[in-house]
Amino acid sequence: MFIATSRSINEIDTYAERTLGISTRTLMGRAGEAVAEAVRALIPSGRVLILAGKGNNGGDGYAAALSLHPSHEVAVYDVFDGGQRSEAGQYYLSECERENISVLRGAPSAELLNRADIIVDAIFGTGYSGELKDTLRDLACSINESPARVVAVDLPLGVDGDLGECDVSSVRADITVALCLPKPAHLSYPARELMGELVISSLGLSRSDLLAATKLTYTSLDDKSALSFLPKRENTANKGSFGKVLHVTGSPKYRGAAHLALEASLRSGVGITAHLDFSSAIPKSASTLCQGNTLTEELRLKFPEAIYENIPADKDPLEHICALSQKYTATLVGSGSHKSYELYTLVKALLSTEGGALILDADAINSIAEYGDLSDLKSARRAVVLTPHPKEFSRLSGLSVEYINSHRLRCAENFAREQRVTLLLKGAGTVITDGDVTYINSSGSTALAKGGSGDVLAGLTASLSAQISSPIAAAALAAYLHGKAADKLSESLSDFGVTPSDLPTELAKQIKRLSSLE
């Protein structure tokens, strides 16, 4: 599902009028009817208070008032006492006055807001950015404190549609009517929590019209977009047709991470999966040793399908792994590997070597943050995919976790663009971006909020990166399948009961389900 920025919406409006012959007035009327339908879905009659701004969003509010009159008792408040700037908005304002719909100047009092059954927020829509002025914050607080249900036209007051960011006092809607296409804020946190039920109205424009009107660089991941990324498997193919992935994961302290990542790769279609225990090459002082089988022996017993590489005693570990990595179409480093200077030197060496996609997870990221700098990433000689959670991303970027969580799209896109990497920023509404194209994941839940889930995602991302030439397509597909697997498991086990060990087999089932949709 495509997502539109405010710039895209302006381009669509222009295209509709100049090429399709659909006037802004007509689109505004359709928007008003869509908002009125949302109100009718809540109450067939009652008192509706519409808060109108002076731009097109306010014009949509006036059009909604016309559609609701006379079945509902409607009053429109011209919040800024500025009338309407657009010709289309002026038309609907004058029509409201002609129909004797109450149009009042200024913002309503808290008492009036409390008496409404429905409040329609038609103040800014996509026209808002920055911070709310004190008077609007007071209004937003009064709306939130009112017992009335709230219908937002395109976006609630205080929400930046393009960045998914929101003022501390933003309006919390019961229903948000997304006009034409959803916006980044409709699907990206923290704004997503303010939307309530999301209703999308195409305003009568077809998908082909929208694609012709503007370049859409945001996409919400769903079955349709995920299916377009899924590798095709010809009947005449062999194991060499589906890529080779090398895992340099795990450590004596975090042995389970290697198990989870390896099984995820084995279950997701890559032709050859191999593992190398880098911790065996680290001096004892840099690694916590434990008794019993080595990590490689454990994995060999559990996963006989995999290849187990080793570092010959007469070889330099870094040179050997870099040379080995060049034989694989993707290499995963860092899952459960224990942060260390030795791991950083390996990551830096791999970044400096040409080869297949390099997926850096967990302690590979932490080791760069601790011992290296961002120039290591920017100068990489191969495609790089990073899979951090917000704390790991904070260490690497220098931004606070609080700032990252409040500005997820901005932080992810700027970092990916500046460092020339593909970034998969985990969390609610996972963001996958290369700085130019951005995907927002729609799948997943708190079932994934458990240690080990990220290792499964890393193994899946590495496997798909070995099979798909586009790093961002591989990362986006991985995030979507990972979330869908958790969603399906939660149906029987609940978000409480799903474990990371449950995920790999369900991943395979989700790939089968997706394939069946072709």
Contacts of 21 (CB under 8 A, 6+ apart): none
What is the pTM (predicted TM-score) of this model? 0.92
Read off φ and ψ for residue 273, nearest 5 degrees.
-120, 130
Task: List pLDDT tens digits, range 2-22.
Answer: 999 999 999 999 999 999 999
Q: How many CA atoms lie within 13 A of 81 on its CB side?
A: 4
Contacts of 398 (CB under 8 A, 6+ apart): none
Contact yes or no for 434/422 (Cβ under 8 A):
yes
Give the pLDDT mean for 174-182. 97
Mean per-residue pLDDT of the chain: 95
pLDDT of residue 437: 96
* Stretch(es) of the chain classified as CATH 3.40.1190.20: 224-232+244-515
Report residue 376 CA to chain centroid gap.
26
C-beta atoms surrounding 497 within 10 Å:
11
Find tokens 């012959």 and name the residue: 21
pLDDT of residue 310: 92
pLDDT of residue 1: 85
What interhelical angle do 362-371 and 390-397 show, nearest 10?
Answer: 20
Q: What is the spatial distance between Cα 334 and Cα 357, in angstroms, rounded to a whole number?
A: 14
For residue 285, pLDDT beyond 50: no
Give the pLDDT mean for 46-50. 98
* Stretch(es) of the chain classified as CATH 3.40.50.10260: 2-214
Task: State the DSSP H helix or E strand holding residue 32, giving kind and residue range, or none if neither.
Answer: helix 24-42
Find tokens 């229903």 and name the residue: 175
For residue 289, pLDDT beyond 80: no
pLDDT-derived band at 130, boundaries 50, 70, 90: confident
For residue 293, pLDDT beyond 80: no
For residue 288, pLDDT beyond 60: no
Q: What is the spatial distance between Cα 12 and Cα 306, in angstroms, rounded to a whole number?
A: 51
Q: What is the spatial distance between Cα 396 and Cα 414, in angstroms, rounded to a whole number?
A: 13
Give the pLDDT mean for 285-298. 61
Q: What is the DSSP string of 408-465?
A: HHHHHHHHHHHHT-EEEE-STT-EEE-SSSEEEE----GGG-STTHHHHHHHHHHHHH
For residue 75, pLDDT beyond 80: yes
CATH topology of domain 224-232+244-515: UDP-N-acetylmuramoyl-L-alanine:D-glutamate ligase (3.40.1190)
For residue 284, pLDDT beyond 80: no
- How many residues are given for the chain? 518
pLDDT of residue 269: 96
Give the pLDDT mean for 351-370. 97
What type of residue sits at position 328? Y
For residue 215, pLDDT beyond 80: yes
Task: List pLDDT tens digits, range 218-271.
Answer: 999 999 999 999 999 999 999 999 999 999 999 888 999 999 999 999 999 999
For residue 290, pLDDT beyond 90: no
- First-to-last C-alpha distance (Å) of the chain: 17
Closest CA to 482 of 516, 432, 410: 432
The fraction of the chain above a pLDDT of 90, given in percent, is 93
C-beta atoms surrounding 491 within 10 Å:
8
Q: What is the spatial distance between Cα 228 and Cα 394, in angstroms, rounded to a whole number?
A: 32
For residue 287, pLDDT beyond 60: no
pLDDT-derived band at 308, boundaries 50, 70, 90: very high
Nearest-Å Rg of the Cα atoms of the chain is: 26
Contact yes or no for 350/319 (Cβ under 8 A):
no
Q: What is the DSSP string of 498-515?
A: --GGGHHHHHHHHHHHHH
Homologous superfamily of the 2-214 domain (CATH): YjeF N-terminal domain (3.40.50.10260)
pLDDT of residue 518: 80
Q: What is the spatial distance between Cα 126 and Cα 374, in angstroms, rounded to a whole number?
A: 34
Q: What is the spatial distance between Cα 300 and Cα 295, in angstroms, rounded to a whole number?
A: 9
Give the lowest-confidence range in 277-291, 331-345, 424-438. Answer: 277-291
pLDDT of residue 167: 94
